[in-house]
Each structure stands twice: as structure tokens, then as C-alpha cells.
């Protein structure tokens, strides 16, 4: 039926969704991450590597946490 087969996982997801307190949610989501890591639902076999070359004149550039680019604060130095 496409539903998760792990009862503890299903209960943890429900518990995490029922609280807005970060101190309550953190151990819940820590355990969810551990279950996912232990059960190996996804096996990463390769990573996408990117390289960005910039002139030393480019100032203020910063990559995003998701691996993208943010040029909103970038400028070219003289």
C-alpha cells in the first residue's frame, strides 16, 4: 500500500508533527534520522560534484547551503 512498514517510524512522525517545541521535537527527529540511516532506505552511490571558478575580482559571492549560487551581494572589484 506504499505506507512505511516500520511502526516506530510512523509513530515518531506523528509525534514530531504534534509538537512545536524544539526541545520535544529534537530527540524525535534524531531517532527518525537514526532509523533511516540504520534501515538503509536510500543508498547514495554517487555525489554530484560542481566546481566554481571565479576571478579574484569577484567580491561578495557566496554559495548557498544547497549548492547553488547567490550573486545578490556580489560585485567586481577594480
Give the predicted TM-score (pTM) of the model. Answer: 0.49
Q: Does 15 score more than 90 pLDDT?
A: yes
Q: Measured between alpha carbons, how far is 15 from 6 in angstroms, rounded to an integer? A: 14
**16 within a domain of the structure (yes/no):** yes
Domain count, the chain: 1
C-alpha cell at 11: 509513530
Asked whether residue 53 is domain-assigned, the answer is: no
Q: Residue 20's domain spans which residues?
A: 7-39
- List of long-range contacts for 29-37, beta carbons under 8 Å, 24+ apart: 35/6, 35/8, 35/9
- Assess if residue 75 is contained within a domain: no
Does some domain include residue 44? no
- Beta-bridged to residue 69, according to DSSP, are 63
C-alpha span between 47 and 29 (Å, rounded): 24
In a domain, 54, yes or no: no
For residue 75, the model assigns a pLDDT of 92
Helices (H), the chain: 7-17, 22-39
The mean per-residue pLDDT over the stretch 18-30 comes to 96
Amino acid at each position: 500500500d506504499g505506507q512505511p512498514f516500520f511502526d516506530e517510524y510512523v509513530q515518531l512522525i506523528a509525534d514530531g508533527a504534534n509538537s512545536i517545541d524544539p526541545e520535544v521535537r529534537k530527540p524525535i527527529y534524531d531517532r527518525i534520522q537514526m532509523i533511516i540511516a540504520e534501515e538503509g532506505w536510500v543508498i547514495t552511490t554517487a555525489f554530484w560534484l560542481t566546481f566554481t571558478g571565479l576571478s579574484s575580482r569577484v567580491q561578495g559571492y557566496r554559495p548557498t547551503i544547497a549548492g547553488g549560487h547567490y550573486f545578490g551581494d556580489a560585485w567586481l572589484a577594480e
